[in-house]
Amino acid sequence: MKDILTIGFLIGLLSATIRMATPLILATLGEVICERSGVLNLGIEGIMLYSSLIAYLTVYFTNNLWLGVLTAIIVGILFGILMAFFSVSLGVSQHVSGLGITLFATGLSLFTYRQIIGAPTIPPTIQTFKTLTLPILSKIPILGPILFDQYILTYIALILVPVFSFLLYKTNFGLSLRAVGENPEAADALGINVYKTRYIALIIGGALMGLSGSFFTLAYFNMFLYGIVGGRGWVSIALTIFANWDPKRVLLGALLFGGIDALQLRLQAIGFNIPYQFFLMMPYVLTIIVLVLVARNALAPSSILKPYKRE
């Protein structure tokens, strides 16, 4: 038990917290943008999985990490367009469209991996991103190793939080996006193109989900596994509600869950006399508890789940 109380353990834990929060920050920002426009995107889990695979395969064949990130983003965008086609153009159930995309993308991930890589006993590994130790800043005691010795994708995720906060609250596009999500009829009357705005939201959201997916194979692990995303897309859906659809609060929620993830891994390693599955379960249990606590006061964008049909 005394292992827990050392400074080294705490630094490691907090550093891991930020690392594990990275994909959650990116994916949840993506979901926030989608939902703010009025579309629940349940394709998130599948989009993250397929883009993590494509990022992995790109690096596997080209050894170019940034090309991997780019292909993951493109995959996210393509799935975002597909989601928009169903939920915006056709206006069919957002629940079922999203689940359909997740099932399709998950099936496609299994299929693509097996068809290209096969079923080796040890999955082939790739060279991943190294942590980027920022000069001077990383020398700050305690704070340095926690904040400034992270993967570049983590820095990007952290920077994107204020960027999207600004985009949503301080730009014309953000205003249109929120108007479309709250009252599409009124937005339309003001001359905002509801369909186009929602398409753009789903494309940006998809790109962020794709970027999030790339973190799993290009930084967090060095291989692809079928369960690599492991429900973190669904956790992001819950975090969106927890964050009250506000980018700044996304950071808070993602750090909370990143922290639980980091903590449960360490508790597993210490080896209490409890089955390790109970630690693995913790993030999911906590997600449900938090969801229950915030759900009653949650105020979703009014037009969510409602397709817009122009008269």
Q: Could you give the string, one character per residue 44-83, with x where binding to another protein holds by CB under 8 A and - elsewhere?
A: --------------------------------------x-
Residue 74 or 192 with smaller CB distance to another protein: 74
Angle at 232 between CA 300 and CA 226, to 5 degrees: 140
Return phi, psi of residue 133, to 5°. Answer: -85, 115
Residue 162 or 231 with smaller CB distance to another protein: 231
Residue 100 or 213 with smaller CB distance to another protein: 100
Alpha-carbon distances of 148 from 15, 109, 250, rounded to whole Å:
9, 34, 20
CB 45 within 8 A of CB 102: yes
Alpha-carbon distances of 183 from 86, 119, 190, 299, rounded to whole Å:
20, 50, 11, 14
Residue 69 or 82 with smaller CB distance to another protein: 82
Residue of 3, 6, 10, 92 that binds another protein (CB under 8 A)? 92
CB 228 within 8 A of CB 52: yes
Q: Could you give the string, one character per residue 269-308, with x where binding to another protein holds by CB under 8 A and - elsewhere?
A: ------xxxx-xx--xx-xx--xx--xx-x----------
Based on the shown chain and the rule CB under 8 A, indicate whether residue 155 belongs to the binding site for another protein.
Answer: no
Q: What are the structure tokens assigned to 251, written together?
A: 């950071």
Based on the shown chain and the rule CB under 8 A, indicate whether residue 143 belongs to the binding site for another protein.
Answer: no
Q: CB neighbours (10 Å) of residue 149?
A: 18
The SS3 call for residue 148 is coil
Residue of 10, 96, 137, 186 that binds another protein (CB under 8 A)? 96
Give the footprint of another protein on this chain (CB under 8 A): 42, 82, 86, 90-93, 95-97, 99-101, 103-108, 110-111, 114-115, 230-231, 234-235, 237-238, 241, 275-278, 280-281, 284-285, 287-288, 291-292, 295-296, 298
